Amino acid sequence: MLKKTLEFLISLRTAVWLTVMLIFLLLYGSFIMPVHNEFLALHTVALFDWMREMPVSITWWLWASIAILLLLATNTLVCSVESIIRKRGARQWLLIMSPQIMHMGFLFILLAHLLSSYGSFKAVTFAYRDAVLQLPNSFEVKFNRLNADIDPSGYITNWAADIEYFKDGRSVATDRILPNSPSFMGGIGIYIKTVKVSPFPVAMIEVSKEPGAPWALAGSVLFIAGMVTLLVLKIAREEESNSPFV
Amino acid sequence: MQDSLPIMAVISGACYAFGYYRTPFVLVGLLLQISYLVLRGIALGRLPLVGPHDTLFFLSAAIVLFMLPVVRKITGSKMIMHAAIGLAVFFMGLSFFYKPHNSPLPPVLRTFWFETHVAFSFFSYALFGIAAIFGVMSLVRGDTEENVIQYKMVLVGYCFFSAAMVFGGIWAYLAWGTYWLWTPKELWTVILWLFYSLYLHARLRQWWKGRPLSVLAVAGFIIVMFTYLGVSLFMKSSHSF
């Protein structure tokens, strides 16, 4: 039994067919999402909180995808370990390792999604000058100044807000938030989405927490590093032997 | 200058048509296409990669750009080059059905992460398109050389596409506070990435080698086209270009 399970998990055939199943589930999901308004709320709460609240009739494909991803993650891990052990004596070790680095990156990204699905948080609010927001991590943020650049045609070309963090009534830091340039404090991000200048300046602010983000970044760096190494080594080997890389 | 740009694009299309007879015309066509993109970029003060007009035109140029070094190295390259030029001219023609997006970009799109995300996506789409051409040729002629080049195109395209996804994730995190959004476009992007991951893993198994892999390469490009155009046309998404 144990041997059969290990054979199943170590098999490349398992990886291929799990991927096929996952593709079909996501295909189904992509057609289901636009026709059910319940999916609109998915942007505002953590995935697992949302899935628990919603009927299984519209979430079953997500549950099934998670189950397949768990199997695929196990398969990736077991295959990588087996490959490293089996080929440890090989000459072109880096060429053998680079796909395993990519696999590791993939696993990190899956872990990131798992963490975000459990503990992400998002809230949107409007802030005026001198408005104070209470953050979920016991910090307070004050909006000292809102600024908008307006071109001669009246189009708002850019916007920013100067903010100040407080803890227990004491100022602890200041920062400036712009589009694509949020501010982070204690694991919480403050984003300025847009501003309106008339009749008085007001900014649309988003507060979010994405616990998987550092893992996703680490996974992405690993994946790209492995991928570039693999590509460079394959090209170098092709040039050396003048044979097509395989 | 802006008025002469469409003429330049039309001439590049004509050069591609002449390219069926003489290859240097293809080079001239590509240079004109690149000039069109550069001049348009200078006029706009940004990379011209917003909206279907610009992206289809960019895709067309990228197909020719990647195809030229490939066809130099293979036998029976004429037919493949003709097919690639046909695809490039098709996308260029399609781009003229859409109005160019000339208005200033919203601040959220004025970032390195967005520009590289889009440029890398279309480089990968071009490479997947060329892989599909090799897939069709392989299915028709049963040539193994074409399978090898098809794999190379997919591998390099996969690298670009993975990098595009990473850069898109970083941009989304900085712009919207999350590296992942639950929209049909994102799902289709993952489907596409999984599909080419499947291709790269399946080729290591004997059963998939040859015709099944060529079928995958062709099917992959159909998914590319739906991810790029179909999702935007038929489904609500954050990627409304």
pLDDT digits (tens, 9 = 90+) for A104-131: 999 999 999 999 999 898 999 999 999 9
Compute the distance between CA of residue B64 and CA of residue B46 in angstroms, rounded to an integer: 23
pLDDT of A128 reads 92
How many Å separate Cα A36 from the centre of its chain? 24
pLDDT in tens, chain A (246 residues): 788 888 888 888 999 999 999 999 999 999 999 888 888 888 888 999 999 999 999 999 999 999 999 999 999 999 999 888 888 777 778 888 999 999 999 999 999 999 999 989 899 999 999 999 999 888 999 999 999 888 888 788 899 999 999 999 899 999 999 999 999 998 899 999 999 888 888 999 999 999 999 999 999 999 999 999 999 988 888 777 655 554
For residue B238, name the pLDDT band (cuts at 50, 70, 90): low
Residues B73 and B123 in one domain: no
pLDDT of B241 reads 42
pTM: 0.92
For residue B10, name the pLDDT band (cuts at 50, 70, 90): confident
| DSSP 8-state assignment for residue B4 | G
B212 interfacial to chain A (CB closer than 8 Å): no
Residue B231 lies in a domain: yes
The residue among B63, B97, B131 that closes a domain is B97
Which of A17, A23, A37, A221 is best to mutate for the B interface (most B CBs within 10 A)? A23
pLDDT of B86 reads 92
Q: How far is A168 from chain B (nearest CA, A)?
A: 26
Residues B83 and B136 in one domain: no
Residue A81: both structure tokens together: 């370990």
A139 interfacial to chain B (CB closer than 8 Å): no
The matching CATH number, chosen from 2.60.98.40, 3.40.640.10, 1.20.1090.10, 3.40.718.10, for A121-209 is: 2.60.98.40
Compute the distance between CA of residue B179 and CA of residue A112 in angstroms, rounded to an integer: 10
Residues B225 and B116 in one domain: yes
Residue B17 lies in a domain: yes
pLDDT of A7 reads 83
Strands A188-196 and A170-177: unpaired
Compute the distance between CA of residue A29 and CA of residue B151 in angstroms, rounded to an integer: 29
The residue type found at A122 is K
Domain range enclosing B180: 110-241
The residue among B59, B76, B97 that closes a domain is B97
pLDDT by residue (tens digit) across B184-209?
A: 889 999 999 999 999 999 998 888 88
For residue B183, name the pLDDT band (cuts at 50, 70, 90): confident
- Which H or E element spans position A186? none
Residues B180 and B150 in one domain: yes
pLDDT of A6 reads 83
Partner residue facing A210 (CB), from B179, B190, B191: B179
The residue among B97, B118, B135 that closes a domain is B97
B215 interfacial to chain A (CB closer than 8 Å): no
User: How many domains does the structure of chain B reveal?
Assistant: 2
Strands (E), chain A: 121-127, 132-134, 140-150, 156-167, 170-177, 183-185, 188-196, 202-209
Residue with tokens 């959004």: B181
pLDDT of A145 reads 92
Residues B87 and B36 in one domain: yes
Residues B142 and B178 in one domain: yes
**Which has more confidence, B209 or B124?**
B124
Residues B137 and B235 in one domain: yes
**Which has more confidence, B233 or B24?**
B24
Which chain A residue lies closest to B184 (C-alpha atoms)?
A30
pLDDT of A219 reads 97
Cβ atoms B151, B203 nearer than 8 A: yes
Q: Is the pLDDT of residue B171 over 80?
A: yes
- A contacts of B111 (beta carbons < 8 Å): 180
Which of B120, B178, B205, B216 is best to mutate for the A interface (most A CBs within 10 A)? B178
Question: What's the rounded mean pLDDT across residues B163-171?
Answer: 96
Domain boundaries, chain A: 1-86, 90-120+211-246, 121-209
- The average confidence (pLDDT) of chain B is 88
pLDDT by residue (tens digit) across B141-150?
A: 877 777 888 9
Q: How far is B11 from chain A (nearest CA, A)?
A: 35
Which of B173, B181, B188 is best to mutate for the A interface (most A CBs within 10 A)? B173
- % of chain B residues with pLDDT over 70: 95
Q: How far is B18 from chain A (nearest CA, A)?
A: 32
Residue B102 lies in a domain: no
pLDDT of A184 reads 95
Residues B38 and B3 in one domain: yes
- B contacts of A13 (beta carbons < 8 Å): 205
Q: Is the pLDDT of residue B1 over 60?
A: no
Residue B105 lies in a domain: no
B:39-68 residues touching chain A, CB 8 A cutoff: none
- B contacts of A159 (beta carbons < 8 Å): 107
Q: What ipTM, to 2 d.p.?
A: 0.91
Residues B240 and B154 in one domain: yes
Partner residue facing B187 (CB), from A26, A43, A220: A26
Partner residue facing B177 (CB), from A26, A113, A210: A210
B219 interfacial to chain A (CB closer than 8 Å): no
Residue B55 lies in a domain: yes
A122 DSSP β-pair partners = A208
